[in-house]
Amino acid sequence: MRQSKLNKKEYKKIVWDIIKNDLKKVVLNVESKPKTTQDHYGDYLHVLTNLKSQIGLNIAKSLLIKAGGNKNGINSACRIITGN
């Protein structure tokens, strides 16, 4: 029997369905804190660092934004992680 592989879009949807409630809670927690860094990039840096090894940086970034996270803060954190 041939095993089918998931494409990136399918994988992202499955991961979203599994962790969306937790990600929404994380985003709510981050966004409700007093800002210690611009657009909470420091908090998102911590979250993305933890998620990176589990689901990959790009998928983590996309799902955090989908969960309502601050796009600028998430993008800034990603730039720090990748060195760009």
Contact 15, 63 (CB under 8 A): yes
Which residues, other chains included, contact 63 with Cβ-Cβ below 8 Å and sequence gap of 6+?
Answer: 12, 15, 16, 19, 20, 23, 55
In a domain, 26, yes or no: no
Residue 32 belongs to some domain of the structure: no
Task: With respect to residue 19, please indicate whether it lies within any of the assigned structural domains.
Answer: no
CB-side neighbour CA atoms (13 Å) of 69: 32
Note whether residue 68 is domain-resident.
Answer: yes
How confident is the model at residue 1, as a pLDDT?
A: 46
Report if residue 28 sits inside a domain. no
Which structural domain range is residue 79 located in?
A: 40-84
**pLDDT tens, position by position, 8-19:** 899 999 999 999
The predicted-structure confidence for 17-74, as pLDDT tens digits, reads as follows 999 999 999 999 999 999 999 999 999 999 999 999 999 999 999 999 999 999 999 9
Residue 72 falls within a domain, yes or no? yes
pLDDT class for 81, splitting at 50, 70, 90? very high
Split into its structural domains, the chain has a count of 1
Question: How far, CA to CA in Å, does 46 sit from each of 17, 67, 76?
Answer: 22, 16, 12
